[in-house]
Amino acid sequence: AEQLGDLPRAAASFDAVAERSAPARARLEEIRAEASDQAILVVRRAITMGATEEARAELQRLRMWAAQDAATLGVISELAAALDDSQLELEFVRRLVARGDADAELLERQAGLELEVGDAGAGLKILEELRREWPEDERIARRLEDARFDWRLKMLPEAAKKLDGAPQLDRGQLAVLVYWVFPSVRYQRATDAVIANDVLDHAHRSEIVRVVNLGLMDIDPNLHAFRPERGATRVDALGAMLRVLAKSPTVGKCLRGATPDSKLAVESVCTLAVRCGVLPEVGDCLPSAPLSGDAAMELARRTSHELEKG
């Protein structure tokens, strides 16, 4: 391979026997720099031409004998960006961190990638360490809160996880989301015993009954009906989130004595949602709009952040 001018292949061959061959080790060191340059040119040329499989194959060979070289790490980063390959980028970032080249920005990037495609526990730990080191950095605090929320979502049962991304939630699904996303809903003692006749045979009866008995969602008092199949609206979700906050003695102070029940005017619900941090601004309220899974999760995320802040 060396005689034919294919130095990357020659380097890989020398590396394969280097542990038991002193001449192979010596020759590998002599050609390493030039072989690495040649291999990186091949990878970059393949990336430019869109030949991603060729680029991957050449990179894989390069990593056999030059895995920790800075140039190799650089081309891993380039290929990861070209392919939008988070797993490959995570490998690159982990190796940079292992080399001791990690600043706060790189560690934060590693945390995000770990949470996305790697070890979520390790990602959380990195963010917690960054938070301890920079306690005044609100952006890191927000990232940590988001990470904790996402971690909780990953631990949810499948029935709750699949709601994220649903185009339209019904009232029963909204109750399931509220029950599983907020630990306080699952463990808080209910003071009322409200009967909803139309959920007795529902697949998620226990979740709906708990949410209703905690006063987080309403039933028709005359018909004793929850109507779980009826499409949920954003005001349904906002009302539920405000009631979750109202249960907290510290966070609920943002309501300033208001009771976010069904008798509260829609405009007041929107105003309170902004005041309590559930919405960024009143223009985002859209109270009568159908409620998607994504929108419900975002409202739950913001509500969770407020509870975390206490």
Summarize pLDDT for 193-238 with one digit per residue, the tens.
777 889 989 999 999 999 999 999 999 888 889 999 999 999 999 9
SS3 content of the chain, % helix, strand, coil (to 5): 65, 0, 30
How confident is the model at residue 191, as a pLDDT? 66
Question: What is the distance, to the nearest Å, from the Cα of residue 40 to the centroid of all Cα atoms in its chain?
Answer: 33
Q: What are the C-alpha distances in Å from 257 to residues 190, 246, 251, 265, 276?
A: 21, 9, 12, 15, 13
- DSSP code at position 218: -
Q: State pLDDT tens for residues 14-33.
A: 999 999 999 999 999 999 88
Q: Which helix (H) or strand (E) holds 66?
A: helix 52-66
What SS3 state is found at 234?
helix
Q: Is 84 left (phi over 0), alpha (psi -120 to 50) or beta?
A: left
pLDDT of residue 192: 66
Could you give the CA distance from residue 21 to residue 225 in angstroms, rounded to a whole number? 81
Closest Cα partner for 176 from 128, 123, 237? Answer: 237
Instruction: Read off the pLDDT of residues 105-135 as tens digits, 9 standing for 90 and up.
Output: 889 989 999 998 999 889 999 999 999 999 9
Q: Is the pLDDT reported for residue 161 higher than 70?
A: yes
Structure tokens at 168: 């339209």
Q: Is the separation of the CB atoms in 75 and 60 below 8 Å? A: no
DSSP state letter for 120: H
Q: What's the confidence (pLDDT) of residue 310?
A: 63
Residue 76, SS3 per DSSP:
helix
Report the C-alpha gap between 235 and 96 in whole angstroms: 47
What's the confidence (pLDDT) of residue 93?
86
Structure confidence at residue 287 (pLDDT): 92
Under DSSP, the state recorded for 232 is: P
Average pLDDT over residues 243-248: 92
| Exposed/middle/buried for residue 79 (C-beta within 10 Å: 0-12, 13-18, 19+) | buried
What rounded mean pLDDT belongs to the chain? 89
What is the model's pLDDT at position 105? 83
Q: How far is Cα 35 from Cα 33, in angstroms, rounded to an integer?
A: 5
DSSP string, 144-210: HHHHHHHHHHHTS-HHHHTTTT-S--BHHHHHHHHHHH-HHHHHSPP------GGGTT-TTHHHHHH
Taking the C-alpha atoms of residue 304 and residue 308, their distance in angstroms, rounded to an integer, is 6
With beta carbons less than 8 A apart as the criterion, state whether 94 and 114 touch.
Answer: no
251 near 276, Cβ under 8 Å? yes
Residue-wise pLDDT tens digits, 56-72: 888 888 888 887 777 78
pLDDT higher than threshold 80 for residue 91:
yes
pLDDT at 66: 80
User: What average pLDDT does this structure show over 259-266?
Assistant: 78
DSSP state of 106: H
Return d(Cα 105, Cα 259) in angstroms, integer: 43
Question: Distance from CA of residue 205 to its chain's centroid?
Answer: 29
According to the model, what pLDDT value does residue 104 have?
Answer: 86
* pLDDT above 90 (res 282): yes
Alpha carbon distance 141, 135 (integer Å) = 8
Report the pLDDT averaged over residues 83-93.
86
